[in-house]
Amino acid sequence: MSLEAAPYQLLGVSHVLQPWGERVDDLEQLRERLVAAPPSVLFVHALQCRLRHAAAAELPMDDVSHWVASAVQDLETAEKLWFALASAEPGPEPARRAWLDVLENLSGSRRNERRGPTGGAFTFLTSLSVPYPYGDPLDDPRELVQALLRSDVSVWFLHLLEEPWNRGARPTLTAWLDARGERRLARWLDECAHSGLPLERACAKFQRRWRLSQVGRRLAEGGRSREPMANETREAAALLAKRLAGDEKSS
């Protein structure tokens, strides 16, 4: 059955974490562990941290860059690691290459000298993702969006970030909406996935766009009605649309 023919099932996700490998004391050990780390480890520290900090005011540093900045106190290297990861394509291998390119450009002596304090070693974690159905499969795109807006932040994370990270492809959610003729909604969700915003802020931006589009849709349907809306109702709807448009521009 083709993607567009089947109803779409929204999923939430839980992550079971456990330690992986030996503790890291310096940048050379960090480089060695990143070379050997499986994709599930890279996922935790490059991407899953965005779910842990979903409500942040600004996108936080990934775990690796944060440790280099806070424990090793090498702000220059930390910022380079953070920028390299942010500029990389989604996926474990682009993330690995981004971090390693920065570390391998440092001299061997610097990698050995830049160490965390006693008790401040970095511990890598690995993750087992456990997806679960969120509601029933839905066949109508707008009902699906309404369900998405009511969902937990883990649903947004799985569909917009984790799935494309693992698949190396566009989210199936936005591809399904596109196939159902909802190209604008699909584009807005694709933009959420690539916005660089904390997850809850990206969700809120999409919600504002959705609310504004619904106001415009109701206004258009009212204009086609046999019984025109009362003037005061039209004015109230127009004011709401203007207010929402102002919110969208300021975000």
Q: What is the pLDDT along the chain (251 residues), one digit of tens a residue?
A: 455 669 999 999 999 999 999 999 999 999 999 999 999 999 999 999 999 999 999 988 999 999 999 999 999 999 999 999 999 999 999 999 999 999 999 999 999 999 999 999 999 999 999 999 999 999 999 999 999 999 999 999 999 999 999 999 899 999 999 999 999 999 999 999 888 899 999 999 999 999 888 875 666 555 554 444 445 445 555 555 555 555 555 55
Q: What is the pLDDT of residue 212?
A: 86
Q: What is the pLDDT of residue 196?
A: 86
Q: What is the pLDDT of residue 229?
A: 46
Residue 54 contacts residue 157 (beta carbons within 8 Å): yes
Q: What is the pLDDT of residue 9?
A: 97
Q: What is the pLDDT of residue 2?
A: 58
| φ, ψ for residue 145, nearest 5 deg | -65, -40
Q: Provide the whole-model pTM.
A: 0.83
Q: What is the pLDDT of residue 125?
A: 98
Question: Strand 11-24 relative to strand 122-133: parallel, antiparallel, unpaired?
Answer: antiparallel
Residue 12 contacts residue 134 (beta carbons within 8 Å): yes
Q: How many angstroms separate the CA atoms of 75 and 56, rounded?
A: 21
Q: What is the pLDDT of residue 226?
A: 46
Pick from 100, 63, 104: nearest CA to 84: 100
Rounded to the nearest 10 degrees, the angle between the axes of helix 92-104 and helix 27-36 is 150
Count of CB atoms within 10 A of residue 133's CB?
10
Instruction: Annotate 145-197 with DSSP letters as a single string.
Output: HHHHHHS-HHHHHIIIIIHHHHHSS--HHHHHHHHTT-HHHHHHHHHHHTS-S
Q: What is the pLDDT of residue 227?
A: 47
- Whose tokens are 């994370």? That residue is 157
CB proximity list for 1: less than 8 A, separation 6 or greater: none
Residue 208: both structure tokens together: 């504002």
Q: What is the pLDDT of residue 137?
A: 96
